[in-house]
Amino acid sequence: MRTRLLWIFVASLLAFPLFAGDFVVKAVKGSVEVRKGVMEEWRKVKVGDLLKPEDSMRTGPGASATIEADKRKLTVPEMTILDISDVRQLTQEDFLLKLAMQNILAVPPRERDELSIPSATVIHGDNASKTNVPVFTDTKVGEMELHGARVLFDNSYYATSILKSKETLRTHPELKANFDARLTVATAFEKMKLTKEAVTEYSLLAKENLPSAQAKKVQGALDRLKQGN
Amino acid sequence: MFPTKQRSFRLRRAFILFQFVTVTAFGQHLTSARGSALGAFTALSDDIASIDWNPAGLVSIRDWDLTASSYAAFRRDVPLTGISLYSAATAKRFLDAHVVAAAYSPGMNLVFDVPSTVTFPDNSTKYLYDERITYREMYALGYGYQITPTVGLGVSARYREQLVSDTKFLTENGIPGRIVTVDYAASAWNIDVGLNWKPEGDWSFGAVAKNLFRLTESELPETVVNWGLRNVKSLRVGAAYRATPTTTVAFDFDTQAQGGVGSEWLLGERWALRQGVLFGGTSTQFFAGLSGGVGFSYGPAKINLSYVHFLDRRSQPTVQEFIDRGVQDLGYNAFTPSQITLSAIISLGRTRDVWAKIEYVQILSEVYPSSYQALANRPLGKAKVKNISSRPILAKVSFFVEQYMDGPTETPRAEYIEPNGEKEIFLYAIFNDAIKFVPSMVLRAAEVFVKASPAEDYDDKSQTRLIIRGRNDWDGDALSLRYFVTPADADIMRFTRLVMSQNKDTMAAAPKQLEKFRSARLLFDEFASRLTYVNDPKLSKDRVQFPSETLALRGGDCDDMTVCFSSLLSSVGINTAFIDVVPPQRLDDAHIFMMFDTEVPASQSTLVSDNPKRYVIRKNERGEETVWVPVETTAITEGFQKAWEVGAKEYFDDVEVGLGVVRGWVKLVDLMLQ
C-alpha cells in the first residue's frame, strides 16, 4: 500500500511540468509550426506537444490547430500567428497600464539639469559612403498577426486582442488601411466597457475613407455610445 | 602767615562767586557727539554712549565696540585749556542677546569753588576757596538685553562721588591761628533703566528712568549736604522717525520739562549732518541751546563732532543760585557751558545685523564619489533656517567640506522667509577631483553657512558630519549606476577603436541601417572573449568597478559588466539603457542588464529579427520608434547571440509577461548621450 502511494505521488510529480498557462496541442491540420520563446526558427508541431507562454504558433494556408489548457480550448485557423502569452485575461488595470506602456517605455526627454554622459564617438555626421538597403516589409506576417488578434477577440480575450492589434499596426504601418482590424479594436474596447477609448477608436475610423458598410457601422457605434452616455 | 595784632581780621562772606577750576565737566547726556548734535537721542542711541543716554541702546552693538571721546568747553570768563581725552569705553555682545559695557571717564569731573574772602590785615594770604565741591562720575557699567528683535532693555550703573573740602580757620583768643581743610566724601551707584522699541517701519521709541535706584555707600553730613548732588528721579521719553531713507527726525522730553528736537541727514554712505534745539529745563529762557554736528564713518570706524551753544548766559553762579538749582547731571545742568565734543568709535568683530539662524542641518544621504557630479543638482541635505529679524529676508545656505571642495557651494536661489518664519533650504555640493580618489569610507566635518540679503558676510554657521563612501561604492540605485559609465575613458576608447579597426571589413559590408547593431555585436564578442563573471566581495555596500578596472581585472559581476559594456557602446555613439530588475519579495534576486538602440526604424524591425520577442520598440525624443536589443552582459560564454537570447527572454518574462515596468519593479534607466 505504501509503495503504491509512493508511485502515485511520483507520477503526479511528473505531471507537474504542465504549468498553469501551458497549452497542449490537441489537434493539428496542415502546416502548423511553433517558435520557442525568443528563438528565430519555426518548428513543426504535433499533437501532444506542450506550448509555453513564451511560445508562438503559426498556421499555414488551409491549416488549423486546436490547443487546450485548464478547460480553455482555442482553435487557430489558417494563416494566423498567435502568441500563447496572449491567451489570457488581463485585469482592466493591467490592461490600461500595458496600453500606456508605449509611453512608459519611450526614451524620456532629457531634463535641463540632468547629467549627460559624454559621448566619445568620433563619427561626426552621416557615413556618406553607406546607403540604406531596401527593406521589404513582409505584410503577410503582419496580416497573420492581425488574424491572431482576431482569434483572441473571438475567444473573448479582448484586452490582449487590442494590445496585439496595436502592436502589429505599429510595426506594420502599411496595414493601417486594414479597417476590419481597427474595427475589431474599437469593438473590443466597447466589449470591455471602456467607452471613452472606444469612442476614440471609432472617431479615428470615422475620419478615414471607409467603404459605406463600414462607415455605417462606425457611425452607428458612435451614435450608440453617445446615447449610452 | 598769621595776621598780627595790629591788623584787623575780617571775614567777609558776602557775595560769593563760583568759578570753575577745571572745566572738564562733561554733559552726562551730552556724552555722545552724535547725541549732543541731535539734541534728542533717547530713541536713537545705539552705541556705548547709551550707558548714559539710554542703556537699552546697547543692544544695537553687534560684537565689540571701543570708543574714546574728548571735549572742550567755552566760557567767557574761563580760558580754553585745550582738548584732552575724557573717556574710554568698551562693550561686547555675547550669547546673541546680551551686551555688557564699561566706561572709564577720568575727565568726568566737575569742580565748584566757593571763593575765600578771608584776607589778612597785611593782605598777605588769601586762600582760594572756602569750600571746594567736586563731583565725579568716573566709572559706569551697562547691560543690554534684546528681548525681541524689536525690543531692547537696558540697565546702567554710574558711580557718583562727591567731595566737599571745607576750609576752616581756627582762632586763638580771637586771632586766626591755623587753617585746616576738612574733607567730606559721599559715593553711590545710581541706576538707570531704559527701554527701546523699534517696530517694523520707520519709527523707533525709547524711554529711560534716570536715577531710578540708588545704592548708597556713604552720604554727606548735614553740615555740607546743601552742596551735594541732586538725585532726582526722572523719566525721559523719546521718539524718532525716518522721514526718508536719508533723513531722520528725533524728539526727547522728560519729567524735568526739558528736551530736544533734532534731525540727521545722511550724505552718501559716509557723511551725516545733524542739528538740534534744546529747550526747557534749568535754562532761563525756553530755547536753552542750539546744536549741530557732523559725522563720518568708514567701515567699522565712526568719528563724530558736535557743538552745543547755550543761548542763556552761563556765567558764574552765586551761592544762592547754586543751592537753588543744584546739580543733578554732571554734564547737562544749569552750569554746563557751550562745548565742542569729539568722539571716535570702532566696532570690531561682527558689525552688522544678524537676520538668520540655522536651527538644524540634516544630511539626506552619504556621498558616493562615482556620482558626485549629480550632487551639484541633487540635494545632499537640508538646513532649517529661521528669520530672527523683524523684516522678511531672502536667505541662501552654503555647504563646504574641506579638502574635497574648492569653496562653499551656495544654493542657486534665495528663499523668502517671513519675520520669525522658518524654512528648510536644500544643500548642494560641487566637489573637486579629490573626491574621485577616496579609497574607502571616510567621515568628514562639513560646514553649513546661512546668508540673508543684503548682507555680505554670513549670518550663522553650523557644522555637521558627512560620510563620503569609497569611489567604487554604489548605493544600489540604478540611476546612480549611470555615473560609473565612462565612454571617454582612454582604455575604453582604445578597446573600441581596436575592435572596430580589426573588423573594418565586416563593418564595411554591413547595411547602413544595421551599423550600430553590427558594432554592438562585434564589441560584445570581443568583450566576452576577454572577461569572466566574478562575484563582488561580501561588503556592507555594493561595489561597482569603473569600466577601465573591469577591463584590467578581466571580470566582474552583473553591474560591473553592464557598466563596462554600456561604456563601450556609448564610446561609439550607441544609446544604451539599464534594465534594473528587483523582483518583489525577492530582493536578493535583484539583477541588472541592459539594452541598446539599433536605431533601426520599427517598420524595418525584420532587419534585426523576425521574432518580435527578441527586441523592444521604443519611441525616442524625436518621436521616432526604433528597435532596441536587450543583452544579458553576464552571459559571456557563448558570445553575442546567446547574450541577446538570454537578455530578450529576461525582458519578455519580466516586462511583457510579468508587467514589471508598469508595476514598478523593473526600471529602465537611459544613459543620455550629449
Residue B458 maps to which CATH number?
2.60.40.10
Report the distance separating Cα B611 and Cα B521, nearest Å: 18
- DSSP H helices, B385-428, are none
Residues B378 and B484 in one domain: no
List pLDDT tens digits, range B512-549. 889 999 999 999 999 999 888 877 665 555 889 999 99
Question: Residue A152 above 90 pLDDT?
Answer: yes
Question: Residue B10 above 50 pLDDT?
Answer: no
Residues B54 and B203 in one domain: yes
Q: Which of B488, B515, B603 sits opposite A173 (nearest CB)?
A: B603
Residues B383 and B508 in one domain: no
- Substitution target from B617, B628, B669 for chain A, most A beta carbons within 10 A: B617
Instruction: Find, among B468, B471, B475, the residue nearest to B436 by Cα.
Output: B471
- Domain assignment present for B218: yes
Residues B487 and B456 in one domain: no
Report the distance separating Cα B448 and Cα B78, nearest Å: 62
- Substitution target from A119, A170, A174 for chain B, most B beta carbons within 10 A: A119
Please provide residue B259's backbone torsions phi and psi, each rounded to the nearest 5 degrees. -175, -165
- Domain assignment present for B659: yes
Residues B436 and B504 in one domain: no
Q: Which residues of A touch B603 (CB under 8 A)?
A: 135, 137, 171-173
CATH assignment at residue B542 = 3.10.620
Amino acid type, B536: D
Task: Mark yes or no for CB contact A117/B482 under 8 Å.
Answer: yes
ipTM: 0.80
**Amino acid B537: pLDDT:** 62
Question: Residue B645 above 90 pLDDT?
Answer: yes
3 state DSSP class of A42: coil
Q: Which residues of A touch B613 (CB under 8 A)?
A: 37-38, 54, 56
Question: Residue A15 above 70 pLDDT?
Answer: no
Evaluated on CA atoms A186, A189, A190, A195, the torsion sign reads: negative
Set of cell numbers at residue B443: 567621515
B-proximal residues of A, 24-63, CB under 8 Å: 35, 37-40, 53-54, 56
pLDDT average, residue stretch B69-92:
71
Q: Which of A53, A119, A170 sits opposite B674 (nearest CB)?
A: A119
Question: Residue A127 above 70 pLDDT?
Answer: no
CATH assignment at residue B164 = 2.40.160.60
- Substitution target from B604, B627, B645, B654 for chain A, most A beta carbons within 10 A: B604
- Domain assignment present for B331: yes
Instruction: Find, among B107, B180, B99, the residue nearest to B144 by Cα.
Output: B99
Question: Considering only A30-39, A220-229, B62-71, B309-318, which range has the smallest mean pLDDT?
Answer: B309-318
Residues B125 and B179 in one domain: yes
Contact B612/A at CB under 8 A = yes
What stretches of A77-224 adopt beta strand conformation (E)? 80-83
Question: Residue B241 above 80 pLDDT?
Answer: yes
Residues B214 and B102 in one domain: yes
Which residues face B556 on adjacent strands? B533
Q: Which of B609, B612, B620 sits opposite A107 (nearest CB)?
A: B620
Instruction: Find, among B610, B518, B661, the residue nearest to A172 by Cα.
Output: B610
3 state DSSP class of B42: coil
List pLDDT tens digits, range A159-209. 999 999 998 988 888 898 888 899 999 999 999 999 999 999 999 999 888
**Amino acid B353: pLDDT:** 66
- Domain assignment present for B11: no
- Calculate the alpha carbon distances from B461 to A213, B115, B350, B534, B572 in Å: 79, 65, 13, 47, 48
Superfamily of domain A89-100+139-229: Tetratricopeptide repeat domain (1.25.40.10)
**Amino acid A183: pLDDT:** 92
List pLDDT tens digits, range B405-462. 999 999 888 899 888 889 999 999 999 989 988 888 888 899 999 888 744 567 788 8
Match 548734535 to its residue by C-alpha cell.
Answer: B37
| B56 vs B79, residue with greater confidence | B56
Residue span of the structural domain in which B145 resides: 19-348
Considering chain B, what percentage of its residues have pLDDT values greater than 90?
Answer: 41
Boundary-marking domain end, from B471, B489, B522:
B471
**Residue B494 CA neighbour count, 13 Å, CB half:** 7
Residues B258 and B338 in one domain: yes
Question: Considering only A117-121, B313-317, B352-356, which range has the smallest mean pLDDT?
Answer: A117-121
Instruction: Find, among B283, B60, B243, B262, the residue nearest to B153 by Cα.
Output: B60
Question: Residue B342 above 50 pLDDT?
Answer: yes
Question: Residue B56 above 50 pLDDT?
Answer: yes
Residues B457 and B544 in one domain: no
**Amino acid B1: pLDDT:** 38
Residues B450 and B487 in one domain: no
- DSSP H helices, B145-241, are none
Domain count, chain B: 3
- Domain assignment present for B13: no
Question: Residue A2 above 60 pLDDT?
Answer: no
Q: Which residues of B touch A54 (CB under 8 A)?
A: 613, 649, 652-653, 657
**Amino acid B518: pLDDT:** 94
Residues in CB range of A127: below 8 A, 6 or more apart: B512, B515
pLDDT average, residue stretch B280-292:
79
Set of cell numbers at residue B217: 555707600
**Amino acid B393: pLDDT:** 86
The H helix count followed by the E strand count for chain B is: 10, 33
Boundary-marking domain end, from B290, B316, B348:
B348
What does the buried/exposed string (b/e) look like for B640-663 if buried means 16 or more CB atoms within 10 Å of the residue's CB?
A: beebbbbbbbbbbbbbbebbbbbe
- Domain assignment present for B7: no
Question: Residue B348 above 70 pLDDT?
Answer: yes
pLDDT average, residue stretch B15-28:
37
The pTM score is 0.59
Residues B459 and B514 in one domain: no
Residue-range domain boundaries for chain A: 18-84, 89-100+139-229
| B208 vs B506, residue with greater confidence | B208
- Domain assignment present for B4: no
Count the helix, strand and coil residues of chain B and give each as a percent rounded to the nearest 5: 20, 45, 35
Contact A171/B at CB under 8 A = yes
Boundary-marking domain end, from B348, B365, B381:
B348
Residues B525 and B387 in one domain: no
Question: Considering only B352-356, B506-510, B603-607, which range has the smallest mean pLDDT?
Answer: B352-356
3 state DSSP class of B310: strand
Task: Mark yes or no for CB contact B670/A117 under 8 Å.
Answer: no
Give A124→chain B minimum CA distance, Å.
Answer: 10
- Quick check: bond before B379 cis, omega within 30? no
| B649 vs A97, residue with greater confidence | B649
